[in-house]
Amino acid sequence: MSETEQGGVSRRTVTKAMAWAVPAVAVASTVPIAAASEVPVTLTGVGCKEPGNPKYYRFQVVITNDNNSPVTVYFDSFTVNGVNKTPVDPTSTTVPAFTRRTITVRAGTFADSANGTATLFYTLNGMSDEASTGFNDLPPTTGQGAGCLLQDFPYQVDVPL
């Protein structure tokens, strides 16, 4: 029998096609796993300080989960102007699938500072990472000049994507 039968496809052509089809399926199946690890965690720069000295600081965090399953972010520690503190309140948050969560985190105690740099250290999908922001003229949560946008604590709001 010849390699090509009348009006048909050769066995060699079918075998070549199968050899290319299998790797393509394997590569495509890894994409969702890689995408799941890319959930942006942003420290927005919106913050304020609670009364007292030393002080607790509050900062707004935005987590965007555009994956089809929930993700948990663990807040490990918080640094203000080079001073690192634990615990962070809350210690974690689980963001539903296809959701943008805005949440206020709180940490302290720190020396009084209206200007500087804040860094949130967190763990997501077993990987440690950080989000940083500069801040200027942090308002107090109470009293004279209380212009804090983060009055309510704890605070979180979810917006579907």
Segments in the chain below pLDDT 70:
1-37, 143-146
Q: What is the pLDDT of residue 130?
A: 96
Segments of 67-144 assigned E as strands: 71-80, 83-85, 92-95, 99-110, 116-124, 127-135
Rounded Cα distance between 140 and 137, Å, is: 9
pTM: 0.74
Q: What is the pLDDT of residue 33?
A: 42
**78 φ, ψ to 5°?**
-135, 135
Q: What is the pLDDT of residue 90?
A: 95
Q: What is the pLDDT of residue 140?
A: 85
State the burial class of residue 109 (Cβ atoms within 10 Å of its Cβ: 0-12, 13-18, 19+). middle
Q: What is the pLDDT of residue 115?
A: 86
